[in-house]
Amino acid sequence: MTDQVRKKRAHLLGFIQHGVNSHATGMWRNPKDKIGWNFARPEYWRHIAQTMERGMFDAMFIADELAPYNTFEDSSDATVKWAVQCPTHEPSTIVPIITGATRHLGVGVTLSTAFEHPYSMCRRLSSLDHLSGGRVAWNIVSSYSKSEWDAYGAVMTDRSQRYARLEEYMEVCYKLWNSWEPDAIVADKESGIYADPAKVHEVIHEGQFYKCRGRHFCAPSPQGQPVLWQAGSSGQGRDFASKHAEAIFAVHPNVDRMKQYADDLNDRTINKFGRAPGSVKLIYGLQTVVAETRSEAQEKYERIKACIPLEGAIAWISGHFGLDFSKFSMDDIVQNIEIPGIQGLFESIIYAKGGAPVTVKEAALIYAQGMGMPVAVGTASDIADQIEHYMDEGGADGFMLAATYTPGCFEEFADLVAPELQRRGRLRTRYEGATLRENLLAS
Ligand SMILES: Cc1cc2nc3c(=O)[nH]c(=O)nc-3n(C[C@H](O)[C@H](O)[C@H](O)COP(=O)(O)O)c2cc1C
């Protein structure tokens, strides 16, 4: 076996939102952002989809939340004022546009279970899986932000309760997705029988949180069920992801943290939940800033950082970490603060300086640039070196690449970095299968 064959190939996901800003606060004001494009129009999504497919990405990953953050100063004013992931449009609406413009690219869509019954969730996802020819993934989230619960007029439940509900939610989903037997559809024109009711099972579920009595309204879709994605990072979250997900997302600022995480997740998936090695992909956040020369890349990077508004940055960490950071001094040390929000992402800033103290101001500015992800700045070769390092030493199977400005950053990645990765045998040169699951689980 040659070295080329032995090397793990990177699975690439383009991490973006159906909105003006995605995960780099202030992105919209970068002179390179959306030149001639409107994020709310289909042609923008077609172009980005085709660019990612040219770069041999597995999928576009559409992140989402359900309402503007309102933790900072108990208001969503700063979120709206500084475009902190706002406005953001509904994510599943663009899935058919993306898959209609491509042949292989998958789409992972973030949909919250908090305010939707599993019955309609399964129906929507099965429909999208049909329309895409089996290229849909579901990023399962349960709404960690108070603003989402406020917007839906509900009282936020704690993490433990959210995971308990989620577990039952999945039970109902699996029952629905598995309820049609493969040969249930007869479609015999002569007799007029379309489907055999004995093979389309009614789901009867009477649980603690959900009730359901009915047949799944969609015929089995190409993948049977969407590819399941998850990004839980607490102990409960890691268990949930290890049990259910086929790709798990995390943000770690350095290779040591990646390695610890990979060891823990692999132990949970294989030893605790008895899943086969390789059946779950570990995908890490990465931001790339590439140019023909290092000095040009550095210049671009400085421009990206200069776009970040400090108040917007603080509003974002307040939203994600569930704490009003206006109540802290900018010089307070984040290592001394306990947060109720997304612990896994908070750790990305706790360890942003290798464990050395990080002030609130530093944390906000680091986070606002790309959610605490490591940033690879340089030539295609520099970036490919870093990617190889994270794969070989950090246990990464792939990367969610956070947008810095769109569609330019994905065009640059496809034109400069993807060919370099292919030269090194680290990226596919053709898609392996027809469905997203086949491509994601390959190699
Ligand atoms: C890389 C990453 C991406 C995430 N993307 C989203 C998202 O788009 N929407 C969302 O509601 N939650 C998102 N989350 C939050 C998680 O899905 C999860 O709900 C949250 O981390 C709380 O669970 P935990 O306490 O187990 O970490 C993301 C988390 C991580 C680490």
d(CA 62, CA 13): 10
d(CA 319, CA 113): 19
Q: What's residue 5's pLDDT?
A: 52
d(CA 435, CA 443): 15
Q: Please state the atom number of ligand 1 nearest to the C-alpha of residue 234.
A: 26
Instruction: State in Å: Cα 145 to ligand 1 middle.
Output: 10
- Report the nearest-CA residue for atom 19 of ligand 1: 141
DSSP 28: G
Q: What's residue 18's pLDDT?
A: 98
Q: What's residue 4's pLDDT?
A: 47
Tens digits of residue pLDDT in 317-333: 999 999 999 999 999 99
Q: What's residue 278's pLDDT?
A: 83
The residue ranges of every structural domain in the chain are: 3-290+374-441
Task: Select from 13, 22, 109, 141 the residue to mutate for testing ligand 1; criterion: most ligand atoms less than 8 Å from CB.
Answer: 141
Tens digits of residue pLDDT in 274-309: 999 888 999 999 999 999 999 999 999 999 999 999
Confidence of residue 1 (pLDDT cuts 50, 70, 90): very low
Look at the alpha carbons of 155, 156, 157, 158 in this order and tell me if their dihedral is positive or negative. negative
Task: Select from 61, 113, 144 the residue to mutate for testing ligand 1; criterion: most ligand atoms less than 8 Å from CB.
Answer: 144
Instruction: State in Å: Cα 194 to ligand 1 middle.
Output: 42
Task: Select from 22, 109, 233, 349 the residue to mutate for testing ligand 1; criterion: most ligand atoms less than 8 Å from CB.
Answer: 233
CATH topology of domain 3-290+374-441: TIM Barrel (3.20.20)
Instruction: State in Å: Cα 342 to ligand 1 middle.
Output: 7
Q: State the burial class of residue 213 (Cβ atoms within 10 Å of its Cβ: 0-12, 13-18, 19+).
A: exposed
Of 319, 326, 327, nearest in space to 346 by CA: 319
Give me the mean pLDDT over the 169-193 stretch.
Answer: 98
DSSP 271: I
- Report the nearest-CA residue for atom 23 of ligand 1: 232
Q: Decide the pairing of beta strands 203-206 and 211-214.
A: antiparallel
Least confident stretch, 46-50, 157-161, 175-179, 319-323: 157-161
Residues having CB closer than 6 A to ligand 1 are: 63-65, 110, 112, 141-142, 144, 159, 231-234, 236-237, 249-251, 285, 342-345
Of 111, 183, 98, 164, nearest in space to 140 by CA: 111
The answer on pLDDT for 349 being more than 50 is yes
Cβ–Cβ < 8 Å for 68, 147 = yes
Q: What's residue 279's pLDDT?
A: 87
Q: What's residue 159's pLDDT?
A: 86
Give me the mean pLDDT over the 134-140 stretch.
Answer: 98
Instruction: State in Å: Cα 189 to ligand 1 middle.
Output: 48
Give me the mean pLDDT over the 382-386 stretch.
Answer: 98
Tens digits of residue pLDDT in 30-49: 999 999 999 999 999 999 99
Cβ–Cβ < 8 Å for 395, 282 = yes
The answer on pLDDT for 430 being more than 90 is yes
The per-residue pLDDT of the chain, averaged, comes to: 96
Q: Hunting for tokens 């290890």 — which residue is that?
A: 242
Q: What's residue 351's pLDDT?
A: 94
Q: What's residue 6's pLDDT?
A: 66
- Report the nearest-CA residue for atom 25 of ligand 1: 234
Q: Please state the atom number of ligand 1 nearest to the C-alpha of residue 249.
A: 1
Q: Is 157 annotated as a binding residue?
A: no
Quote helix, strand, coil % in the chain, to nearest 5: 45, 15, 40
Q: Is 234 annotated as a binding residue?
A: yes
> Integer distance in angstroms from the first to the last C-alpha of the chain?
14
Tokens matching residue 106: 């998958």
Alpha helix (H) residue ranges in 322-443: 343-350, 360-370, 380-394, 408-412, 418-423, 436-441
Give me the mean pLDDT over the 101-120 stretch.
Answer: 98
Ramachandran class of 74: left when φ > 0, alpha when ψ lies in -120 to 50, beta otherwise: left
Q: What's residue 344's pLDDT?
A: 86
> Above pLDDT 90, what percent of the chain?
94
Give the contacts of 340 (CB within 8 A, at least 6 positions apart): 321, 322, 323
- Report the nearest-CA residue for atom 14 of ligand 1: 231
Q: Please state the atom number of ligand 1 nearest to the C-alpha of residue 240.
A: 26
DSSP 24: S
Of 272, 278, 203, 328, nearest in space to 437 by CA: 278
Count of beta carbons in the 10 Å neighbourhood of residue 259:
16
Of 313, 286, 292, 322, nearest in space to 399 by CA: 286
Tens digits of residue pLDDT in 261-272: 999 999 999 999
Instruction: State in Å: Cα 328 to ligand 1 middle.
Output: 24
Cβ–Cβ < 8 Å for 142, 163 = yes
CA 422 to each of CA 5, 9, 151, 343: distance values in angstroms, whole numbers, following the listed order: 12, 9, 46, 35
Cβ–Cβ < 8 Å for 137, 228 = yes
Tens digits of residue pLDDT in 215-261: 999 999 999 999 999 998 889 999 999 999 999 999 999 999 999 99
Q: Is 179 annotated as a binding residue?
A: no
